[in-house]
Amino acid sequence: MAFSLKPHNRHLLYSSCPKIAQSSNSNAGNVVFPPISSSLSVLSSATQLVAAKSTSIGASQSPLVVRASSSSSAAAIAEPEGIKINSVPTKPIEGQKTGTSGLRKKVKVFMQENYLANWIQALFNSLPTEDYKNGVLVLGGDGRYFNREAAQVIMKIAAGNGVGKILVGQDGILSTPAVSAVIRKRKANGGFIMSASHNPGGPEYDWGIKFNYNSGQPAPESITDKIYGNTLSISEIKMADIVDVDLSRHGTTKFGNFIVEVVDPVSDYLELMENVFDFQLIKALLSRPNFRFIFDAMHAVTGAYAKPIFVDKLGASLDSISNGVPLEDFGHGHPDPNLTYAKDLVNIMYGENAPDFGAASDGDGDRNMILGKGFFITPSDSVAIIAANAQQSIPYFRSGPKGLARSMPTSGALDRVAQKLNLPFFEVPTGWKFFGNLMDAGKLSICGEESFGTGSDHIREKDGIWAVLAWLSILAYRNKDKKPGEQLVSVSDIAKEHWATYGRNFFSRYDYEECESGGANKMVEYLRDLVSKSKEGEKYGDYVLQFADDFTYTDPVDGSVVSKQGVRFVFTDGSRVIYRLSGTGSAGATIRIYIEQFESDASKHDVDAQIALKPLIDLALSISKLKEFTGRDKPTVIT
């Protein structure tokens, strides 16, 4: 049984799908279109649903300028068969340092002359030619504003650098997990993801780009550092002189030896999910009249996947999908699934007559939030509970997980599961790419981050819908023998049973977004200086210091070392306070403070986390002198 949550925009317009543009240009290409697939009904039906008063996918945008930045004009260079390749002179542009999740800036920055083109060319200059020459690359994104024009530039530069084929999602749509899945299934050389993840979209907001390797995982720091280095010395952009490709319909377009194939964004990913989970088991749960489910796609990319998976395959009713139409500005929302920005869903799940299970995903579909009836599951607890129940509930893990891992700031709940199940355990820096080597080496199956990222080795990205299906699988397994009308095991029941077995790691994160960078950096330097002078046994109020450091990670697979990954104060009772500057914003600096305290006494497990952690939170703010350095006295987000 479904639960209906009214979307922000109730008035709907209907517009016909765009037609393929015909051209007499010799480089217009040969176009072949099969019938439109029904799997992506929101985007590929005969009519498209577009929420009024919000920027719809496919809306016209300002032209993206790529031109010679000197008095010399573009020159033709060595050409593959049937394509003219121009060498466009350019100059380095400041501010293209690539972070943990690619390059993220305001849309207006990316729309500056040659800004995007420089970065894309710098990427190709950073890769060995055998990694892409005559090869296949995947291209897709979260549907945000600027993706369509950016896709055309990326394809032209790819052709100019000798790529043989581009697989691009219809309308430029591919969730981040789907890009990873398509790369792996199609044995592609890599892929571009056009997304600023959970950051807002629209002309005044954010855009981003990153590159994933042939394993489907984000490019390692060795490559992102090279990209940045090449942006500082770039002098030319290689661009194919070809017309724009119509991305609105499935089909193949050929430009000489260069091929663009527009693919169904859902089919490969859906097939993978059917191989990981027992869809019949989940379908039986969703068909129960006393089980109600709601999924909030936040007008982001998972809206394109929600109906094919939850409705068409698993039998949920259509009104169980909220905000399911992907929009270029996410319906003027902030597509970050947490207690602050997913407030509509939170209000429903904590209201009267709440559904039994609620979930949300973010802009590009790699993050998730899990809620029970009046009950929030922290991401740290979520990955621990999934790991503890995976072998019995999820067919993919029938032989048991190979190993477990978490990012350093994530609570120690997963550590206790690994210990009880006698599984290898790894603590890595923030950034999903650090899990990839462990997965490729066969050491890791299930992993997670406190930043609402959960996943496994089925792909090499975190995966929001995977986490939702994992929770539905656990609930379905625990309730499979319940008779009609019998009370079901709930989300809160499962969490409390887990705490009774493993203890509870109280956890909270305070985010201070868009802080002035100078003050934020001074605060971190102050903390590092404090760490260098710290001594075991020092007292911080009622807490006794076990150690303090700036986290350094040595990869057990390749021996690579990364340092300065977060300042930690770890106390003798297991409590932790951690400070990090986030690399996922597009402007200013985001300071994150993580607070954790373990409690084994089951009689204290029901205490609100903010109450249980208040003494430690006060200590964390005192240690950092955050207000003194930044002027901020209240966090933007509390998780």
147-170 CB burial, b ≥16 within 10 A, e <16? bbbbbbbbbbbbbbbbbbbbbbbb
98-116 CB burial, b ≥16 within 10 A, e <16? bbbbbbbbbbebbbebbbb
What does the DSSP assignment read for 409-441? Answer: TS-THHHHHHHHHT--EEEE-SSTHHHHHHHHT
Give the whole-angstrom CA distance, residue 74 versus residue 89.
6
Asked if 204 and 146 count as a contact pair (C-beta separation under 8 A), the reply is no
Give the whole-angstrom CA distance, residue 104 versus residue 92.
17
Give the whole-angstrom CA distance, residue 137 versus residue 261.
11
What stretches of 441-596 show up as alpha helix (H) in DSSP?
Answer: 464-479, 491-502, 517-533
Give the whole-angstrom CA distance, residue 340 versus residue 330.
16
Q: What does the block give as tokens for 12? A: 């709907």
287 noted as active-site residue: no
Q: What does the block give as tokens for 568? A: 């930690």
Give the whole-angstrom CA distance, residue 157 versus residue 174.
20
List 197, 407, 490, 624, catalytic entry: 197
- In terms of phi and psi (left: phi > 0; alpha: psi -120 to 50; beta: otherwise), the region of 126 is alpha
What residues contact 60, with CB distance under 8 A and at least 6 apart? none
Report phi then psi at 178, rounded to 5.
-65, -40
Q: How many CB atoms lie within 10 A of CB 483?
A: 5
Angle between the N-to-C axes of helices 115-126 and 147-160, in degrees from 0 to 180, rounded to the nearest 10: 40
β-pairing, 404-407 vs 446-449, is: parallel
Asked if 285 and 19 count as a contact pair (C-beta separation under 8 A), the reply is no
Report phi then psi at 104, rounded to 5.
-130, 130
What stretches of 127-241 show up as alpha helix (H) in DSSP?
Answer: 147-160, 176-185, 221-231
Closest to 571 in 3D by CA, of 605, 613, 537? 537
Asked if 503 and 573 count as a contact pair (C-beta separation under 8 A), the reply is no
367 secondary structure, DSSP code: B
Asked if 454 and 386 count as a contact pair (C-beta separation under 8 A), the reply is yes
Give the whole-angstrom CA distance, residue 637 versus residue 626.
15
Q: Which residues are catalytic?
A: 197
